[in-house]
Structure 1
Amino acid sequence: MMKILVCGANGFIGRHLCLHLQAAGHRVLRGIRPGVPATCPAPDDVWMDFSSDTQTTIWESRLQQAGQIDVIINAIGILHESGKQTFEAIHRDAPIAMYQAAQRLGITRIVQISALGGNQDVQIHEGMSPYLRTKRETDLFLLQSDLSALILCPSLIVGLDGISSRFFRVLASLPVLLIPGDGQQRLQPVHIDDLCEAVVRWLSHPADKTVTLDVVGPCAMTYTEMLGNYRQLMGLQPGHVLRIPLWIMHTAAGLSRFFPQRLLSHDSLRMLENHNVADPAPLQQLLARPSRNKESWFPQIPASMLASEALLKWHLMCYRSTLALIWIVTAVLSLGLYPIQDSLQLLQALPVPASLQLPLLYSAGVLDGLLGLACIVFPSRKLWVFQLGLIGVYSLLIALYLPQFWLHPFGPILKNVAIVALLISLISTDRKAS
């Protein structure tokens, strides 16, 4: 039995590594970033923040406090930079400081989760994305050190609870498949269980030097074929294809920085364009079996369950987008597109002094606009509850002072029933704490 520190234990890869290592009889210390909710917190969890823990002395103290550690696994990585979370800090400075501290304390076995493409070139070149360059710099440190390290270079990782897998299942479930460029980018997805088993098997054998391992599935496929496979696993018929020029994708990637998502970025698009494929034989040799094929990505999971989750995701996106459009258009109409005098005439029915009617109209318009933007940028349960309450107040005021609109042949108020239904759906499916 080994005592193993898994950095990034709350992430997709780290979480699965912990389960596999514990099943193999090892004692696992979970490295978790402060502020990230921990699943079943344990007293020996190790708190760490790669965005600021870039000094060797910090890691020496932390590792000493954790007791005798046999192995350190680094499963921390980001696709987007945000504030202090830079590629240099997360992928290079903090890991290297941690590995230097490990050397001083006699911890010699390391597992570094890198990326396919990060170890293909002997030299770092200017064409590398910041994501790959910083990964590569840490890999080179390990290759030049006296540590015994396993540097894993995975392609796209498939798993039921993986963020990227969920994202691709959503894309594959759309009525029209959105394909970047010609869709012929080559990929070699690997299942998360294969990656974790490779780590467990490597740890079961003595190692005296650093090795790199491309972690890929048994066969390469194009991006279009990958989405088609996801669609087939969900029991959906082949869909229509819409090819999106890459310049539009990169423009969208630039704008995506302002939205709450972690997958679409310039770096992720560049990695997609670089054809992430490799020889599957070394991984299969370590596993002593074939790696999992594309037909068995989600064993024992009914296709209907996979499809329901994916469909719900983009249905909810449609709900949020619809609400955003309604609030923003209402704001534009209130702020002047609809004649101001006509709006003020409607407000005269309310018990509001004439001097306050114009400020009230503009305030309501600004509020509606902010609510529309919040639907896109800050979706949350609190937002949906607030909107539900606001619609209730609006409807009550109209019922009391403008009851004729309830009988209007175009049904302007009755349409609120549909909006209320959307909000109730969003509230009931929001998994975040309110």
Structure 2
Amino acid sequence: MTKLVTIYGGAGFVGRYIARRMAKEGWRVRVAVRRPNESLHVKPYGAVGQVEPVLCNIRDDASVRAAMQGADVVVNCVGVLAEKGKNSFAAVQSEGAARIARIASEEGIGRFVHLSAIGADKGAASEYQQTKAQGEEAVLASFPDAVILRPSVIFGVEDEFFNRFAKMTNFSPVLPLIGGETKFQPVYVDDVAQAAVKAVLGDASSGIYELGGPETDTLKGLMANMLEIIQRRRLVIDLPFFAGNLMAMGFDVAQALTLGLFHNKVLTRDQVKNLANDCIVGADAKGFADLGIAPTAMDVILPEYLWVYRATGQYAAIRDSAKNLRKT
């Protein structure tokens, strides 16, 4: 019988890549999401009926249990970058992860794979990082042999990192940054998915893996590279952290005063705390090399989707070529 994997958050940024790879491996894939009707894009990843989105609320035991009935392996990709309503960091990344792992253990699930983040630390200033660490601890309490993946900032077609900054260049001559000297090790989303699939298939030993790409650079350096790719000149300004906190406070207050009608996706105070710390693989951490994966360089992928932000879009190469034509 074909094996079944349940992926919580399987229609999200990373989850969809894991779902696609698992379908190619011949597995049945159950994608547990809050809104199945908005996740139909996962169905063509496999044959008819092979990949199915199902309704699941990770704040509810019965819902979580129903989504994993009959599964051989469970993957948890659920996380939030900014809180909104009931989807707080604690509810999703700590309590949600604990609930999924506990119920998976009760149901006798064979393997558990959990997506966390570099910097997860119960003593961190950021609540995001605190709850990531709490989630890891809860997962290991139920599944001591779980595989936990901690990626650095993730890039890819649907990312909220390079796309977010590139969009800003469409309407602003200035690119303001908070933590311009903070170091990152961007990792390609499909490389993270490949690591998760190895774990699902039992080709990865248990433990925590920190995943970073082949290049390490400051936020300011990454933005310079992005600007070169999209062929735009912008003034990059590294704002001090106190200014970032003031800006973030204003956005957070606006969200509170509008009762969530305005969802702060610009900058939160918790994100400012995150930006004070480097997001790179630890010197002694297990990583891609231990999984037999060669991570993909940014310059191989970024031009494939950032071209849309060039002034002449897909015609940029033709324009540059035309400049070389000899005048007659």
Scaled by the length of structure 1, what TM-score is found? 0.62
Q: Deviations over 1:98-143 (max 9, x none)?
A: 211111111031111111111xx5xx32x43221111111201223
Q: Compute the displacement of 1:305 (Å).
A: 2.7
More helix by share: 1
- Retained in 2: the 8 A contact 1:103–1:147? no
Q: Is the 8 A contact 1:108 1:147 kept in 2?
A: no
1:59 aligns with one of 64, 69, 87: 64
Match of 1:140 among 137, 140, 162: 137
Partner of 1:175: 173
What is the match of residue 116 of structure 2?
Answer: 114
**Matches of residues 293-372 of structure 1 in structure 2 within 5 Å?**
293-298=297-302, 300-301=304-305, 304-307=307-310
Change (3 A) 1:134 1:194: same
Q: CA RMSD in A?
A: 2.7
Is residue 2:240 matched to residue 1:250? no
Query: In structure 1, what is the Cα distance between the partners aligned to 2:168 and 2:150?
Result: 25
Q: Secondary structure at the match of 1:163?
A: coil
Over 3 Å counting, the alpha-carbon distance change for 1:146 and 1:284 in structure 2 is: closer
Tell me, yes or no, if structure 1 residue 89 matches structure 2 residue 91: yes
Larger RCO, structures 1/2 (Cα 8 Å, 6+ apart)? 2
Deviation at 1:34, TM superposition (A): 3.4
Structure 1 residue ranges without an equivalent (≥5): 311-434
Any idea what the Cα deviations from partners look like across 1:187-239, whole Å, max 9, x if unmatched? 111110110111122333356x64111111112110100101111222335x3
Supply the distance in 1 between the matched residues of 2:140 and 2:24 (Cα, whole angstroms).
Answer: 30
Distance in 1 separating the partners of 2:17 and 2:33: 14
Equivalenced residue count is 295
Distance across 1 between alignment mates of 2:210 and 2:280:
9
Q: Give the drift of 1:308.
A: 5.1
One-letter amino acid of the structure 2 residue matched with residue 253 of structure 1: A
Distance 2:116 2:240 in 1: 29
The 3-state SS of whatever aligns with 1:46 is strand
What amino acid maps onto 1:285 in structure 2? A
Q: CA deviation at 1:23?
A: 2.2
Contact 1:3 1:28 in 2 (8 A): yes
Q: Does the Cα contact within 8 Å between 2:97 and 2:138 map onto a contact in 1?
A: no
Letter of the 1:180 partner, please give it: I
* Contact 1:34-1:49 at 8 Å conserved across structures: no
Residue 289 (structure 1) shift: 4.3
Q: Does the 8 A contact of 1:171 with 1:227 survive in 2?
A: no
Matched to 1:102, the amino acid is A
Say whether residues 1:292 and 2:290 are aligned partners.
no
* 1:29 counterpart SS class: strand
Identity across matched positions, percent = 25
Distance 2:186 2:108 in 1: 36
> SS at the partner of 2:11?
coil
User: How many Å apart are 1:85 and its aligned residue?
Assistant: 1.3
1:160 is matched with which residue?
Answer: 157
